[in-house]
Amino acid sequence: MAPHAEIDSGSTNGDGPINNGQARSSAAAAGNLFTVSSPNVVYTDSTIESKYTYRTTSVTAGADGRYTATPKETLYDFKTERAVPKTGLMLVGWGGNNGSTVTAGIIANRRGLTWDTREGPRSANYYGSIVMGSTLKLGSDAATNRDVNIPFHDVLPMVHPNDLVLGGWDISGLDLAASMDRAAVLEPTLKQMVRKEMAEMRPLPSIYYPDFIAANQEDRADNVLPGSKAEWAHVEKLRADIRDFKATNGLDKVIVLWTANTERFADIIEGVNDTADNLLASIKNGHEEVAPSTVFAVASILENAPFINGSPQNTFVPGAIALAERHNAFIGGDDFKSGQTKMKSALVDFLINAGIRLTSIASYNHLGNNDGKNLSSQRQFRSKEISKSNVVDDMVEANTVLYKPGEKPDHTVVIKYMPAVGDNKRALDEYYAEIFLGGHQTISLFNVCEDSLLASPLIIDLVLIGEMMTRIQWRSSGEGEFKSFHSVLSVLSYMLKAPLTPPGTPVVNALAKQRAALTNIFRACIGLEPESDMTLEHKLF
């Protein structure tokens, strides 16, 4: 069986009609929808080069408690490669719910499939993806002053998900068609349309360290490499897998993404995983506190393949981050922000910015898929609890009117394994807040989150944006050589519950700020100012 899959964009085997709106390749998607007419932007055959003035405000505190705010301007040069590379995506946990769902979804979009459901026909789409399903404001129409919005995917020349070559690893040896059936996520009619292709895909053997995931996963582990704890042979085998996948498919780049089981947190131990050298030595010595996901991260870093962690564990121990910095390799994580937590980060941001003092947040989850089964183990649940509980911290700390230093709302997260609900997670949240003159406001939400159908578009976003960041370089204007962004891709934060940031830098969880950062970095690459909602053109008549 083939360990990868590539299907021509727009092809069909007769199982469904072509949907021309979806079945397009990156060549079409990266067309010249617009150009920027500015002395600060230069287009060459290979690059887009821009000069960008970054405006910030520096604040100093005086002895009297008063602040002095000083506007600052820094001129940067950006250079973006225009050539869209042939890109492969290797998923760790390819045979899981997310892996099988995103694979089926890409196949359906490549072929423009339409299928019947109880509610009528449905067509393949990329709804839920910020890159493929959202727009941003380019500017205002010169004649009418009305906003001109363009697809996010067309701002820069980006990989189209239809063109991704798929592969990966799994501790379960089922082919992707059988994995798709086991996941019980997709409509039967859609499954039949993609079954032939999916049955030809089989994951590569993965590594399995039983101490890091729940014991109830043991019966799935029939496709594993020898060895039950970290060893250097595992790193070398994973590196070889990445190289072989890249060579076999004629790829320019490979992105590796962890969508496997949630692991327990690894202990941070001096001399074990605190530095790059100590981490490498610990793997070679078979130390039991090195997680499988960290081994995958190390292998990817050494192959210069960007590695993204979609689960909540602390894959990126200090030694892993240091190793990525040493090799100028890109990493990003942690934990997909799909349903309940995305709602929470948006709602809490709204309430606190509205001057409403949240005093408690109670979140309950009933989950019936294999992720829920794994999380029924306390040590794995603790990883998820941490990632779901910290998403309000930066918003609370930003409002010193409502909260004293160190003060935060009570926040409880509960996850219960309920097999009957399958992949359709039930998320129940209660927000309790203080309002004017001692009053209270209670907001209760009931949210049915189809987990894998929400997470799969995030996988696509993380891969497409992660790849794009490998083609962007910058420098202080006129000073020295161009350089890449920091190894830790904090720009991916919009898709992640517990965003990884470069050491010593703040974490931003507020959804609007995360979206603005992503949007405005892309705008800087084409020499455009940040989006403004002042709309002075409509007010100053």
Is 384 catalytic? The answer is: yes
Burial code of 440-476, b = ≥16 C-beta within 10 A, e = fewer? eeeeeeebebbbbbbbbbbbbbbbbbbbbbbbbbbee
**Phi, psi for residue 476 in degrees, rounded to 5:** -65, 135
For the CA atoms of 407, 61, 345, 261, the dihedral, rounded to the nearest 10 degrees, stands at -80
Q: Write down the residue that tokens 């083609």 correspond to.
A: 471
Residue 403 has, within 13 A of its CA and on its CB side, a CA count of 22
In whole angstroms, give the CA distance from residue 23 to residue 169: 27
Among candidate residues 424, 488, 467, the one with its CA nearest the CA of residue 90? 467
Q: Which residues make Cβ contacts (< 8 Å) with residue 271, sequence separation at least 6?
A: 278
In whole angstroms, give the CA distance from residue 389 to residue 520: 28
- Residue type, position 202, single letter: R
Q: Which of 335, 371, 423, 461 is catalytic?
A: 335
Handedness of CA 375, 499, 298, 83 (dihedral sign): positive
Among candidate residues 460, 377, 371, 461, the one with its CA nearest the CA of residue 419? 371
Among candidate residues 236, 238, 254, the one with its CA nearest the CA of residue 296? 238
Is 8 catalytic? The answer is: no
Q: Which of 175, 425, 429, 461 is catalytic?
A: 425
In whole angstroms, give the CA distance from residue 430 to residue 376: 22
Q: 292-302 and 318-326 helices cross at what angle (nearest 10)?
A: 10
Strands of 472-476's sheet in order across: 41-43, 47-61, 67-81, 472-476, 483-484
Residue 19 has, within 13 A of its CA and on its CB side, a CA count of 20
In whole angstroms, give the CA distance from residue 10 to residue 28: 12
Q: Which of 79, 246, 373, 384 is catalytic?
A: 384
Is 373 catalytic? The answer is: no
Question: 193 near 15, Cβ under 8 Å?
Answer: yes
Is 497 catalytic? The answer is: yes
By CB atoms closer than 10 A (0-12, 13-18, 19+), residue 279 is: buried
For residue 18, give the 3-state DSSP assignment: coil
Pairing label, strands 204-205, 165-170: parallel
Helix (H) or strand (E) holding 512: helix 511-525
Q: Write down the residue that tokens 């083939």 correspond to.
A: 2
Calculate the alpha carbon distances from 133 to 70, 130, 137 in Å: 39, 5, 14
Tally of CB atoms within 10 A around 524: 21
Question: 5 near 197, Cβ under 8 Å?
Answer: yes
Residues involved in catalysis:
335, 384, 425, 497
